[in-house]
Amino acid sequence: MPSENNEHTMDSNLTDNAAPVAQAAPATADTALEDQSQSLAADLRAPTISRAYQCQCGRPVFLGNSQCLACNTPLGYVIDSLGVVPLAPAEHDGAEPDTFTVFGDTGGKAWRRCANFLTAAGCNWMVPAPRDGDDPTLHHTDGLSPGYCLSCSVTRTIPDLSIESNGILWRKLEQAKRRLISQLLALGLPVVSRLGDPVHGLAFDFLSNLPGGPHVLTGHEQGVITLNAEEAEDAVRERIRAEMREPYRTLVGHFRHEIGHYYWDLLVFPTPWIDDFRTLFGDERADYATALRTHYENGPPPDWANRFVTSYASSHPWEDWAETWAHYLHMADTADTAMSFGVDAQNVELASDLFEPADLWQPEHPDAMKFLDFLNGWVRLTNVLNELSRSMGQPDYYPFVLPRTAVGKLQFIHQVITQQRHHQSDAALAAQQDGMSQGEDPDVKPGDAAPAPVPPTSQTQTQGDGFQNQQERAIG
């Protein structure tokens, strides 16, 4: 897939009062959400895991925390737990300094801080620290740059840190990427670096515009995602958003859009999903450069709001997929967070009707009603979030409209991800059974599975043994 200039990101179909509207047939007593006594959490049935984390002292902690502010317990993101957990100094025989175990699991795996913990990136993810005699296959260090966590290992190029302001931009970029990677792992999607798989692995280049050089375009090409570091500058991003007349433009939105292109190459194009993709999204073999040029010169078709989640999605089937994919990730992560904290939106006055089975792509699918519950729970939640934003005098939290056609596309993406998650679970179960048959510790979790990586290769980029500083990289 060619690299694209993703400037028009997440521009939405807006109603007159900017409330989210579900363009569906009127709701009836036969809809999946007729029981109004249920909580929003029950309606959402969010597709992944809890986003509410807790310290050993009982206080809530959050995705970016590295220490509990109440009791000073060290915290870190542990992939095996798919979340932030309290840590305790490792106490096993031969324990190395600055290694940890998960609090209360003194005999469990040992971990150490990512090498970027004390850099401007401020990474709070943990890196496996195998003990002597441990089976290395249980620690999943393949594909990790030495000393770095999985999230940092997929970063290939960082901005020039000799420019003081770039440290702040790099931190914001990494924070957004860690949220993305943590969600991908929770969804059971494969996340492997270029070290683990030089062909299908993932890499991020965070580049700045250099004097005399070309403008850095955000885009994806063959597993390499490039983001212009200036997007991490709030004032710059807001200026671009206003110039593009977009209601929404965020770092995490960029990450979720571009990773959609990556997973299209990985999960759709080489699989039987491609036929259904073309039925729903269109034929991606249409000339991409011509389609983008037409979009930028003439704008979207007049009826785009009836068929696409954003106007940019109308430019080409690849962009329709990436925008809808990003939208699904927005919905899933926000719904998971709401469900984790018990947010209830049953008493909200809806600005639109709920969706019905007839609005789905495959209403007969065994998972269809669960997805419909999730979708309609989302409609309820966004009405609440918009009211909260308005109460603070802020723009709507969710300034989008979901046309019925986009609902079918969202269900397609849901099914692609669900199938992949089931494959991951099956692979993890098979590995666990194999380990048990050989008398090994079956400490394998579904999120650990990934495409079989080739042996790690040495990185040609050498900045902190894991990154390439843009100052050292030829641009052009």
What are the tens digits of pLDDT across the range 83-126?
Answer: 999 999 998 888 889 999 999 999 899 999 999 999 999 999 99
Angle of helix 273-281 versus helix 404-437 axis, rounded to 10: 160
Burial class from Cβ neighbours inside 10 Å (0-12, 13-18, 19+) for residue 85 reads buried
Judging by DSSP bridges, how do beta strands 111-113 and 126-128 pair with one another?
Answer: antiparallel
CA distance 159 to 161: 6
- pLDDT over threshold 90, residue 472: no
Is the pLDDT score of 4 beyond 60? no
Which two tokens mark 362? 């495959």
Give alpha helix (H) positions in 282-403. Answer: 288-298, 317-340, 368-391
Per the DSSP assignment, residues forming a β-bridge with 100 are 89, 111
- For residues 430 and 166, which has the higher predicted lDDT (pLDDT)? 166
More confident residue, 435 or 15: 435
pLDDT tens, position by position, 403-456: 999 999 999 999 999 999 888 767 666 655 565 454 444 343 333 333 333 222
Position 269 pLDDT exceeds 70: yes
- Local confidence band at 323 (pLDDT 50, 70, 90 cut-offs): very high
Give me the percent of the chain exceeding a pLDDT of 90: 63
pLDDT of residue 434: 60
- Rounded to 10 degrees, the C-alpha dihedral 299/301/303/306 comes to -80
What pLDDT, on the 0 to 100 scale, is given for residue 436?
47
Contact 464, 121 (CB under 8 A): no
- Mean pLDDT lowest among 238-242, 369-373, 394-398, 439-443: 439-443
Query: pTM for this structure?
Result: 0.83
Go through 154-177 and write b for each residue having 16 or more CB atoms within 10 A of its CB, e for each that does not.
bbbbbbbbeeeebbebbbbbbbbb
C-alpha distance across the termini of the chain, in Å: 20
pLDDT of residue 17: 38
The pLDDT score that the predictor gives to residue 121 is: 97
